[in-house]
Amino acid sequence: MNPASNLILVGPMGAGKTTIGKRLAKHFALRFVDSDQFIEQQTGARVATIFDLEGEAGFRQREQQAIAELCNGHGQLIATGGGAVLNEENRRLMHLHGFVIWLRTSVERQLERLAQDRTRPLLQASNRRHRLEVMAAQRDPLYAVCCDLVFESEQRKVAAAAERLARILAQRWHRETEPAPIPDPTQPPCTT
């Protein structure tokens, strides 16, 4: 068990980090923060615009600054962007300041959930399936390394998924007011 004052959701786009996260935040009386929205508020620009002007590298630098700032807070549920785990410092900070949950979902479910979404810069590709498969191959091992809990978010009903995850967290997450030490990376995460 990783006692922590924050819950942090990681996982690919379309896994339900925002929709499940809002419900969990309400259930546990936490402040909900979406890291991408936080970046947009800080910069006054949409994520897509930042990608256009600064490229992915520029966005990732801004993301790292946002994760560092958010992780210094307490009593939050932080929904991270799908690529936040690419940065080693982000993974370290998330371990240090939160109970990290990997919302794992299949590429099939992502394609279904993101079928109408045209706003995500990394999905602007002729072959969305291939793009998502490449990202999963790169990111899934990083989600696994930094998480305290793996939650399968394949369900179609958000309310049922959030309720199920809340029950699991009630048994496995101990909310602290002080940051927890970094967990032993040699220990595998819990899975459900």
Which residues are part of a known binding site for ATP? 14-19, 120, 156
Dihedral through CA 84, CA 39, CA 78, CA 20, nearest 10?
-90
Q: How far apart are CA 25 and CA 22, in angstroms?
A: 5
Q: Residues annotated as binding site? A: 14-19, 36, 60, 82, 120, 139, 156
Q: How far apart are CA 16 and CA 101, in angstroms?
A: 12
DSSP secondary structure of 30-87:
-EEEEHHHHHHHHHSS-HHHHHHHHHHHHHHHHHHHHHHHHHT-SSEEEE--TTGGGS
Q: Residues annotated as binding site for substrate? A: 36, 60, 82, 139
Q: What's 112-149 look like in SS3?
A: HHCCCCCCCHHHCCCCHHHHHHHHHHHHHHHHHHHCCE
Of 155, 153, 151, nearest to 101 (Cα)? 151
Q: Residues annotated as binding site for Mg(2+)? A: 18
Q: What's 87-120 look like in SS3?
A: CHHHHHHHHHHCEEEEEECCHHHHHHHCCCCCCC
